[in-house]
Chain A
């Protein structure tokens, strides 16, 4: 398996523009997570899905952020409009929930977002 695949690796955009980050989880994994990493706040869980259904979006900072998982092999995180404070590395991770146990995540390589 190629692992969790995120695109793009780097994104530079102007304030006010819409940004879409993409993620392909590992085949067979039924949990998908979006995290944001910054120096100031560390790793923050934004939202996670189970079997394509959002389970907990309490970490989504505000209405400018939205996430979807239309099928088991694809998820998007959208920011509209983007602001400089959204600059961060965004990670997608997936996990298999067999036996109702958290065996740990497989992370993608991340998308480094810079909003100028």
Chain B
């Protein structure tokens, strides 16, 4: 079975500062990895995904993530955040070839002016 740990429940950051949201996963088989964003009173939206190939994955809204197999991590980064990035971010995992996706507990990103 797969599991996901998001290491920070809340991350406050000032506007235009860089941010990193941390995610570690556990699995005995190869995995797909995802980051989703959820704005208030909305459903989740896919930010980016790692299926195979390059370990650096670029997504929407200027976000990127790096898959590190040896450290079983998939941290999300953005070099300069905006007020509009304030939302909850979920890391998620499924086994390669699988469609059942397990979500982490979420990290609330709060961008301050």
Interface residues of A (CB under 8 A from B): 4, 31, 33, 35, 42-43, 45, 48, 50, 55-56, 91, 93, 95, 97, 100-110
Contact = CB atoms under 8 A, between A and B. Distances in A.
Interface in B68-95: 90, 94
Nearest to A42: B105
Contacts of B11: none
B100 A103 contact: no
Interface residues of B, number: 23
Interface in B24-42: 32, 34, 36, 41-42
A91 B99 contact: no
Interface of B: 32, 34, 36, 41-46, 49, 51, 90, 94, 97-106
Give me the 9 closest cross-chain CB pairs, A-B, nearest first.
A107-B43, A43-B103, A104-B46, A107-B44, A42-B105, A109-B43, A102-B99, A104-B49, A102-B94
Contacts of A108: 43
Contacts of A104: 34, 36, 46, 49
Contacts of B104: 42
Given A105-B44, A107-B43, A100 B103 contact: no
Nearest to A6: B43
